[in-house]
Amino acid sequence: MGSRDKPWGGRFSEATDPTVERFSASVHFDRALARYDIRGSIAHARMLARAGLIEPAEADALCEGLLAIGEDIEAGRFEFDPALEDIHMNVETRLRERIGPVAGRLHTGRSRNDQVATDTALYLRDAARAARRGLALLQQVLVERGREHVDTVLPGYTHLQRAQPVRLAHHWLAFVSMFERDAQRFRDLDRRLVHCPLGSGAIAGSTLPLDRTDTARALEFEGPSANSMDSVASRDGALEMLSATAICMVHLSRLAEELVLWSSAEFGFVELADAYSTGSSLMPQKKNPDVPELVRGKSGRAIGNLVTLLTIVKGLPLTYNRDLQEDKEPLFDSVTTLRDCLEVLAGSLATLRVQEERMALAARDPMLLATDLAETLVREGVPFREAHEAVGRIVGHCVEKDLDLGALSREDLRAFHEAFPAGADELLSLERALEERSLPGGTAKVRVLEALEAASARLEDEIEAIEELGALDSLPALRPGEPQGGSA
C-alpha cells in the first residue's frame, strides 16, 4: 500500500501521495491494539474454518502465523511500517510474508470497520479492569495510612478556611469513597462491553455464512452486537472510558492539590519522600512537590481528551467515517495518564511523612469548636439560628479583643446569651468534639474504625473480582509517539 503500491483494492490506478500517506497513517499509535488485533483475527480464522469458508489447514496456518507475529510484537522485534497505514495492514502484510497467499483468506467476511471496533472493545475491557486495579491499590494505601493515623487530628477545611477538627484517617477515607465510585464507573463500562462487533462488516453485515456467535464467545463476549451499523459507527464505549477517566483524574487532582498545600511551609502537615520530590535548579533549599503538581496538571489532559472525542463524534452521520481514527490518541493517552497517576500517587502517599504535631497544633485552634458552642445552646432549647447568631457575636468579640474562645467564663458567654450553662473551658473539648460526631459517616473514632474495616473488606472483594476477570498487570496503552517495540 502507500507510495509503493496502489491503495487498498483494485479501484485505484494511482499510488497514494506520500503526504496523504503520512497524514493518514495511524500505526504509530494504533499498534497499542496489536494483541487485540491478533486475538480477534485468530477467533475469526477459526470461525471461517468451522463455517466451511476456508480449509482447517488454512486456518491452522493463519493462526500459527498470527501467534508468531504476536510474539514478535510483544518482544519488540516487529518492524512497523507507516506506509502500511495501520496495525491491521501491518499484521496482514507480515502474515502474507510469513505464510504466503493463504494470508489473503483471513479478511474473508471482515472489514477494517468491524475489526477496529472489536479491537477497541477488547482494549476498553482491559483498560477498565486495569483502572479498577490501580484504584484498588491506591485505596489500599489510603486505608493503611488511615489505620496509622486514626488518632491524628487536624483541621478540616471549607473554603480553605479552618472549619472543624477531623481525624486524618477520616479525611483520607473521603478519597477512598471518591475512588470507590470511580471504580464503579469503570465496572459499569465493563458490563456494557458485552457485545461483539465482529461480523458487522463495513456497514451491513455479510452475505457469507459467518457465525457471529462463535467469534463472540471465542473473544469472551456474551454475544454479537445487535445492529451492524451501530457496531461500526459508535464510539460511546471510548467516550464512557474517557468520561470515567476524566472524573477520576479530577478526584486525583484534588488529592494532589492537598499534598501540594500540605507540604508547603505554610501548612507543614506532610513531607513527601525524596523519591517523589525534586529540587530546584537554582535554589538549593527547595524540595518541590512535582509529582502531585504533575498529577494536578495532567487532569487537564484527561478532560481535554473527553472533549476532543465528544467533538469528533457529535456531527458524524452513520456509519463509519475516517474522523473516527481520531478516537485512538485521546483514548490511549488518557488510559496511560490515569495508569501513571494512580501509580505515582500511591507511591507518594505510601512514603510521605505525616507531621502529626503540626497538625495537632492547628487542630487546637479553639475557633474550630465554635459550632459545638452553638449546639450547646441548641441542647438548652435555643433555636439554632438564634444560637448561631449569638456565637457569631462571641467569635467577633474574641477576634476584636484577641481573646481565646476556650478561656471565656460562664459570665463572659452569658453576656451574649443567658442560656449558656457553663464556661467555655467546660463546654469545649477537642476530644469530645470528635467523639460526639458519632453519626454514620462521622469522625468519631468508632465510626472511623468501622469505616476502615468496611473499606478494607470491600477492597479485598474488589481485588478478588478483578483477578477472576483476568485483568492485565500491564496494559499496552500508548501516548502518541511513545515507543513500544520495533520502529515506526
Residues belonging to the active site: 159, 280
Q: Give the C-alpha distances (Å, rounded to integers) separating 27 from 30, 60, 79, 212, 318.
A: 5, 27, 11, 27, 25
Alpha-carbon radius of gyration of the chain: 30
Q: Give the CB-side neighbour count of residue 485, counting CA atoms within 13 A.
A: 20
Q: Which helix (H) or strand (E) holds 316?
A: none
Looking at the DSSP assignment, which residues form a beta bridge with residue 155? 165
DSSP category for residue 417? -
Give the residue among 434, 393, 451, 412 at the shortest CA–CA distance from 151. Answer: 434
Question: Judging by DSSP bridges, how do beta strands 153-158 and 353-354 pair with one another?
Answer: unpaired
Look up cell 499484521; give the residue: 91
3-state secondary structure 72-139: HHHHCCCCCCHHHCCHHHHHHHHHHHHHHHHHHHCCCCCCHHHHHHHHHHHHHHHHHHHHHHHHHHHH
Query: How far is CA 75 from each of CA 29, 72, 96, 485, rounded to the nearest angstrom?
Result: 17, 5, 20, 7
Sign of CA dihedral 168, 169, 173, 176: positive
Task: Give the separation between CA 396 and CA 141, rounded to whole angstroms.
Answer: 42
375/155 Cα distance (integer angstroms): 19
- For the range 313-322, what are the long-range contacts, defined as Cβ-Cβ under 8 Å and sequence gap of 24 or more? 313/235, 313/239, 316/233, 318/229, 318/233, 319/113, 319/203, 319/229, 319/232, 319/233, 320/113, 320/202, 320/203, 320/232, 320/233, 322/24
The counts of H helices and E strands in the chain are 19, 6
Please provide the DSSP assignment of 362-399 as one string.
HHT-GGGGHHHHHHHHHHTT--HHHHHHHHHHHHHHHH
Residue 257 burial class via C-beta count within 10 angstroms: exposed 0-12, middle 13-18, buried 19 and up: middle
Three-state SS letters, 344-368: HHHHHHHHCEECHHHHHHHHCCHHH
- One-letter amino acid at 87 equals I
